[in-house]
Amino acid sequence: MGAANSTRDSASESSSAPKESGQNGQNFRSDNERVMQLARAMTTAKKRRHQTPSSLMASQGSDFETYNESIFILKQLFKRMDPAVTKTLGDAKGEVKLSLKYDKRRSMLLVKVVSARDLSAKDIRGRTSDPYVQMDLIPDPHDEGKKSTQYVKKTLSPTYNEIFTFKLNEEEISETQLRVRVLSHDPFGKADFMGENIIQLGRMDFSDIITSWFELQLETDLDIQGELKITLTYQLPDTLKVRVHNAEGLVCRDPKKMPYPYVKVLIPGIHKVEETKVQKNTLDPVWDETFDFSLAQEEFANRYLVLHVLDKALIGDSEDMGQVFIDLDNLDINQGFSGNFPLTDLKNSERTRTKWSQTATVQEFREAMYAHSVYRYPGLVFQKHRGNKVLTVHSRKAGSSAKVRIVNGIPT
């Protein structure tokens, strides 16, 4: 991972985590070569004797316990740092801790806002914030409205411990979302947005109280509407044809101007982006344009199609009107596919990388983690942890970072 430095309360680390991989098997070989180089470098990185996992397994007592704890920390750091699952959050950062319970007898959802941590600074000097948490249901069948905690002054890790209730019938849970937003109080103007998480209540198991940290994300545009109709056909030996027919029911955001919609079509990992023509002044554009992508059948399991519907701006950037992601692994090359897809805001989707690069990245991360565990490097991780501290790893190549908190000597 690189040279480490540690203080009483925090620690940081530089890592040689992988870049996004490129094309086919050649890059898998290069990934393995980088892993082997990493392993060789580690043998000379420390001028001391290292224990292998097998020899450690034979040891007894506190040394083995310390090693197991260090491996747990190492796994957590790699998992959180893996760029295959890391989102680009922009200015949204941090987490909010909630406890959720559903009371069947009273048809009531109870939400306890416990705390938040690692929030972004919003004051003028850029060092702190006055955060509070705001919640509402989507849809809101009983007009519960928005409910907010008190704000806490000058902190990026506030504690609230406030409980709120929302009227919600049991049959309504599956179709309801809980939107949780963290805002910074501004006595002289509009509160500053710090991040949100939209919780799908239908996916929660309310047989017991649910307590968890929820990662804050960029604001999701819930006003996006409409559908996009496309047809996919495959022409042997290696051509995927994407026909963009039309869109229906788009939303007009500017009361003074009807949208000028067009569609951007791409397959992540293939260096080709296609665009339809711009249709003017319409919420129901028709294109009927076909685009060809060179794609071998063997790659279908690791590829997906992305279609962005955009409103062409007269000045400045085009405005997003929604996206569609289509997995290609189930495409029947003999029959193809034709149908309508709902447009949604997918900027917070975890699909920031191609499946192909995820496969290569996971392989390299697994091998690199094994190399670290064999040579017990860096020493920052492989040591007996006491008190409270934060271990932080940064990877310039992967463009990601990770933290593990040590509380009273126990990693959390």
Point out the least confidently predicted range of 88-92, 223-227, 346-350. 88-92
pTM: 0.56
Residue pair 325/378 in contact (Cβ under 8 Å)? The answer is no
CATH of the domain at 236: 2.60.40.150
Map residue 205 onto helix, strand or coil.
coil
Amino acid 254 reads: D
Strands (E) in 302-399, as ranges, are 304-311, 319-327, 337-342, 389-395
Q: Of 347, 381, 400, which closes a domain?
A: 347
Does residue 129 sit within a domain?
A: yes
Does residue 222 sit within a domain?
A: no
Whether residues 39 and 134 share a domain: the answer is no
- Which pLDDT score is estimated for 88? 40
Two tokens at 129?
Answer: 């914030």
Q: Is the pLDDT of residue 19 over 60?
A: no
Question: Which helix H or strand E contains 374, and what residues bound it?
Answer: helix 355-375
Does residue 386 sit within a domain?
A: yes
Does residue 326 sit within a domain?
A: yes
Can you tell me which residue has the tokens 């705390």?
115
- Which pLDDT score is estimated for 301? 82
Does residue 119 sit within a domain?
A: yes
Domain limits at 104? 95-215
Whether residues 284 and 367 share a domain: the answer is no
Map residue 98 onto helix, strand or coil.
strand
In this prediction, residue 7 has a pLDDT band, given cuts at 50, 70 and 90, of very low
For 174: left if phi > 0, alpha if psi spans -120 to 50, otherwise beta; the answer is alpha
Whether residues 190 and 274 share a domain: the answer is no
Whether residues 100 and 177 share a domain: the answer is yes
Whether residues 81 and 104 share a domain: the answer is no
Of 125-134, 347-356, 400-409, highest mean pLDDT: 125-134
Q: Of 324, 347, 370, which closes a domain?
A: 347
For 120: left if phi > 0, alpha if psi spans -120 to 50, otherwise beta; the answer is beta
Q: Of 347, 374, 398, which closes a domain?
A: 347
Q: Is the pLDDT of residue 276 over 90?
A: yes
pLDDT 10s digits, 228-274: 999 999 999 999 999 999 999 999 888 888 999 999 999 887 889 99
Whether residues 366 and 320 share a domain: the answer is no
Can you tell me which residue has the tokens 């690189």?
2
pLDDT 10s digits, 340-390: 999 988 766 655 444 445 555 556 666 777 777 787 777 777 777 778 887
